[in-house]
Amino acid sequence: MKNKHSKSDLNSANNVIELQSAANSEPGLRTFVDMFCGIGGFHIAASSLGMKCVFASDIDEHARKAYYSNFGIMPQGDIARIAAKDVPDHDLLCAGFPCQPFSIIGRRKGFEDFRGTLFFEIVRILEVKLPRAFILENVKQLTTIDHGRTINKILSALRSLGYQVDLKVLNALDFGLPQKRERVIIVGSLDKFTEFPWPVRKMKMKPLSKILETNPDEKHLVSDRIRKRRQSSHKSNFKPGIWHENKSGNISSYPYSCALRAGASYNYLLVDGVRRLSPKEMLRLQGFPESFKIVCTDSQTRKQAGNAVPVPLVKAGMKGLLNVVQASEAPRQCQSA
């Protein structure tokens, strides 16, 4: 699909310099917008770093309800129906754009899938508002589908706006969460950097015993039939452990969870082979704080948790962007002293 939103005149060096100058007129990253916000993983990360949310949007009414209950901001609806000029000015754009077109579970049609074109809604907002930085999140498979042509198209569209861009696949296991969840984090800045400061040290994984509820509701127990079938076909070396059954019916277990999913996690992941994860446990596996209010049904909360971004992953990307901004501002501060 042709990117109808990009303009050739933004490729000129003079325009890029002019845009950078305008974006760097204010210090730091103080405000952010939260596109495809879900229940607020980006919000939690950005606000913990001192930033203020000035706009959020999501098409899902239940996600909007949860977001409002926790942050006091009612997200607007379908971003495709919102004019770019109506989005408030901001320093950082955050977006976990729909991953279904790029995931293993989907058919991986990429931009052939309509949802894949929602990426260009991000481009549309960036082009008009030109925030100082952005951070995007998607599934690991985004980097390899269509022999790399899809990710190259995404990076080209972002760079055409004057941004310096980098990406890295990060795993939630390396950021303290007992969940094997690999996600590509794409960052961009109008401030130049020689090498983006991605984290190099791994965080110690929180044990499952700190995640699992001590007295889970009996409604999460599987039937005797499922329990006996699972336990007759698998013996685990881990307790507590999360048992994972793949599409072929093969069962494995680990001292951590495999990646949560919006729809299937409730059925294919079992704690010690006897019960399903509770909504609270799924939120913990994504790095959401204990203070996060659950205001929707169990089924909706499971879906929301499966769609959420792991908070420590996006926070790591934000810290890198803050370092880039600080490095850019330091010479100017010395000159003005």
Which among 114, 37, 18, 34 has a CA at the least distance from the CA of 308? 37
Residue 278, exposed/middle/buried by CB under 10 A (0-12, 13-18, 19+)? buried
CA 207 to CA 241: how far, in whole Å?
A: 10
What residues form DSSP beta bridges with 245? 251
Whole-angstrom distance, CA of residue 133 vs CA of residue 188: 5
Rounded Cα gap, residues 250 and 253, in angstroms: 10
Structure tokens given for 67: 């977001």
How many CB atoms lie under 10 A from the CB of residue 14?
8
Catalytic residue among 99, 258, 296, 334: 99
Between helix 119-129 and helix 149-159 the angle, nearest 10°, is: 10
What's the token pair of residue 179? Answer: 């969940």
The phi and psi torsions of 70 (rounded to 5 degrees) equal -95, -30
Q: Is the dihedral of CA 119, 64, 77, 10 positive or negative?
A: negative
Which residues are 167's β-sheet partners?
186
* Integer Cα distance of 101 and 156 in angstroms: 19
Amino acid at 111: F
Element (H, E) at 55: strand 52-56
Compute CA distances 125 → 83, 85, 92, 294, 310, whole Å.
8, 8, 12, 31, 24
Q: Annotated catalytic, 296?
A: no
Residues recognised as catalytic: 99
